[in-house]
Amino acid sequence: MTKKVEKEDKVVNLKPTAGDMSARRKGIYLLPNLLTTGALFCGFYAVLSGFSGEYEWAAMAIFAAMIFDGLDGRVARMTNTQSDFGVQYDSLSDMVSFGVAPAVVAYGWGLTSLGKLGLAAAFVYASCAALRLARFNVQAELSDNKNFTGLPSPAAAAIVAGLVWSTYQMEASAATAIIGAVITAVAGLLMVSNFKYPSFKEVDLRGKVPFMVILSVVMGFVVITIDPPRILFTLAIVFGFSAPLIWAWKKMTSLVANKAK
């Protein structure tokens, strides 16, 4: 509602103008961009760790980047500090943390033994991450807040990082490298697919929740601490392949129903 104040026969409109809103969106806010910087640092550290052969630390850094990435957008929305700068900065950070870092870590972990095939798998992943982020930025204003089109880049990074973290202590073999190359390439292709994935953006962190929800979250953390690499990898695989499996199931049931008619 527009409030008006009369002073010396003048009417002052206190409603923010389009110019004020534009200036606000062009500003740089400290808190959300500080979290984005944290994600960027984790991605950068993962790349360096991958070059050094410290794959456990590299994988953990990628998962840490996911935490920062999950917080920056929510903090910006909760504090009403969204900006165009923040959107672009977040995308560049995502490209480093969830595009370049997983590809570099996976290549150093085992794909390098496959020669050009391993290089191709790593590049497919990195290029698909770039395409995924570019498509997201272009369609941001038109996209459905409830769902993402294509596997989100953090989830794809979780698949690759989880794979490396779960197997880096195993003896290197051609079979492991080939499986890793396939998983890396498929994770990349899922990012540019048209499958729908839930965005979880409608989850209200400020609202009240039943006690069982809190208990479930606590138990979830307890389960993860039992074997973080394998449990996180399993969760990422389940989430990543849930959309294509649901699509395939619907296609099959539809064909069966049509034949039964």
Asked if residues 130 and 99 have their Cβ atoms less than 8 Å apart, the reply is yes
End-to-end CA distance of the chain: 57
The reply to whether 4 falls in a domain is no
Per-position DSSP letters for 186-222, written without gaps between them: HHHHHHTS--EEE--TT--TTS---HHHHHHHHHHHH
Give residue-wise pLDDT tens across range 147-182: 889 999 999 999 999 999 999 988 888 999 999 999
Q: What is the pLDDT of residue 23?
A: 46
Domain count, the chain: 1
Q: What is the pLDDT of residue 9?
A: 45
Joined together, the tokens standing for residue 157 give 């990074």
Enter the pTM of the model.
0.84
The reply to whether 21 falls in a domain is no
The answer to whether residue 24 scores a pLDDT higher than 70 is no
Considering only 55-64, 117-126, 175-184, 209-218, which range has the smallest mean pLDDT? 209-218
The reply to whether 217 falls in a domain is yes
User: Which residues, 6 or more positions from 222, have their beta carbon under 8 angstroms from its beta carbon?
Assistant: none
Q: Which domain holds residue 93?
A: 27-260
User: Which residues, 6 or more positions from 173, have their beta carbon under 8 angstroms from its beta carbon?
Assistant: none
Asked if residues 66 and 155 have their Cβ atoms less than 8 Å apart, the reply is no
CATH of the domain at 234: 1.20.120.1760
Q: What is the pLDDT of residue 243?
A: 94
The reply to whether 15 falls in a domain is no
The average confidence (pLDDT) of the chain is 85
The reply to whether 10 falls in a domain is no
